[in-house]
Structure 1
């Protein structure tokens, strides 16, 4: 039987060589040669103001909560349909979360529902760009500016993805909010096993970000010769990844365009093969808004019911194909359901019940994709 897993990490062939080089140069803790090369790559390619590699996207989000001084009782607005780290980072600081429903046609949160949830306690809006497709940042920034709120981009899935503004300019996701968090988990387009990155676009937060990153010390400033000694000057934690992880990541970054080209081919092949079924109303295909680009982070279908989604996943499993569902709505999670304000969020619940992700990784072949799509067709022809 043809067996196709959900994910398979792609290796460029240079990872081990660069990791050996990091070890050979005897700097294997954080902020070494490869950390600096990765920082330089992102600042030059995407014009991010300041970047700091972290051990995970979760770490980058937790740094964001520290940087904007989240205090107990502060309120933070974010989508319900997102990964738990998006909320956990702020819950850890004592914040209350106001969850926003998704669009009917896309898992991203609907900005038209944000303003009604703003109170005098609201401090930030956290935007998660689902599947690397931009949210409507013009609307979100307008609301944030009106109420003097921070904007944080959960850009975990957004490597090499852009927001298209009214002048038709492509603005990199992660460069728009005050702060942004990226992931390099092995399921992402560009990987380092575990790993993440904080982007600091608000220059007022830049110096403090580096201090929090370095366990609350001004160690980085000391090594640049900006202070004559370093000490404990603020709160912080150990957010730096090893330079060995950065070396792995840099090998991936060098092949970014090549990786993206193949992933876009996979995405477009899925879309072409499955569109005839979607046109029959059997399921929904991914929707890319006119103000967003597609970075081919994932390919998903939205089934018509939870029962149908469950049976499709089982059918594919029986054929050796591993498809998975994605997030569960955070507003109805065991941890938060008693803290939620009771608003119904039907679209978030729809995607929690009905969305299924198909296998997506660099090594998928034309025959693999045809096999997967044929089995999707077989399932829907028999219900």
Structure 2
């Protein structure tokens, strides 16, 4: 498996055939000579007006021996970037940045957003063995770290993977965050793998968004039967990605036509709200079937109640719901984003094998970051919004 290669195949470091000529222009200046860089930052939470371009953002440094500095070529935007711009998850993210809560306000701003990155490694920490300078890589950046809307970003090597050779940087930047979120939900939480997925029936509620479009492709590559809900004008789009059956949510309540279908082995919920009241009834009882929702109140709870009380309320909520549905023979689970270089290793192989394709709806220049945010904020996307950062205007 791809993830195991990080541990057992040390010879791979010396026999790779990766072209680095295109990356050479990024390494004219050593990081030791740099103190600032261009970036889009926010100094407070709010709307698009809080986005500020600066050429004087602090240059990232390696603080731990397992970290790498990446020269950003392209960044992908996600709905969570818009939410974080408005302050979503501020309490929890600030705590992650400063666990002892000693300098929470100092560390909070200026904040760089952007959760997807595709770029080139500029510098490696002393303990980094799997990567070398000038490797082309991609990664999903945890929300508690500074993001990719900057010339450089520092990441743990465990969060990074070699970029698929078949994709450009702009295409690669459309995948990591939704890919690792989907992987966490379906594999880590849902228990699906390429070896047990064949002939399983999976329902994706909200199939035309970022996670939905990636999940369709991954599940079809593994042999599952995939049903999705989406609007009528997205039906051709999701069928083109491999969806077997499509239910139009604009035609009326979707629970009625879904209830007429055969029961499902797993439901992936990207919609939330009232769906919980009926979605679990669509699962095969007493068969190990799971409902996995990515719409959870965890960050809302911690934002409203503080870390301790918010976590207590969250734990009580998920425990009561899990018990409620367990007695009915189905499993209730919450799914969360989890950064994972090894997961991206697996996904890279699927991309290069032609099983998964990047879905880019629109690409913006670095100078157009506010327009890119407005695009994501408008919703109803048919693919990802990407910012090309290695070609910015001075």
How does the TM-score come out when normalised to structure 1? 0.27
Structure having the higher strand fraction is 2
Q: TM-score, normalised by structure 2?
A: 0.27
